[in-house]
Amino acid sequence: MDIVTFNIPEEFMEELKNDAADVADSTVRTTVQHAKDPRAIGTRMSVVATYIVDRERFGGTRHLVRLDYHVGAYLHSDDVVGRNLIELADKMANKIGEGAEVLGLKHRLGIIKPGSQ
């Protein structure tokens, strides 16, 4: 399955608007990922959103659309920077979910990994 990747939430949402009628199971998934940054000290935080476009019924293909939006990095999740980044990431994930719902789509937590569909 091909993957279309975005790093800018607004571009992802514009693509979602264009794809809304063909989103598999009418579902967009979002999560906030915390991962150790191998290039620096600290933890990298990203908002990840995914959905599958299914155009097979029209003789087309299926592909995964993915947003990987880097919010920032923090040393401790309970310090001011960490709390602010977590709040910012949660707001972005909620904004994407609300945008999906406005388009008549369902919003669920988690992500779709390539090869899982």
pLDDT tens for each residue of 48-73: 999 999 987 777 889 999 999 999 98
pTM for the full model?
Answer: 0.88
What's the token pair of residue 103? 């388009």
Q: 26-46: per-residue pLDDT in tens?
A: 999 999 998 887 777 788 899
E strand or H helix at 36, and its extent?
strand 27-36
pLDDT at 87 over 80: yes
CB atoms within 10 A of CB 77: 13
pLDDT on residue 30: 97
Enumerate residues 6+ apart whose C-beta is below 8 A from 3. 63, 64, 65, 66, 114
Helix axes 9-19, 80-102, angle to 10 degrees: 20
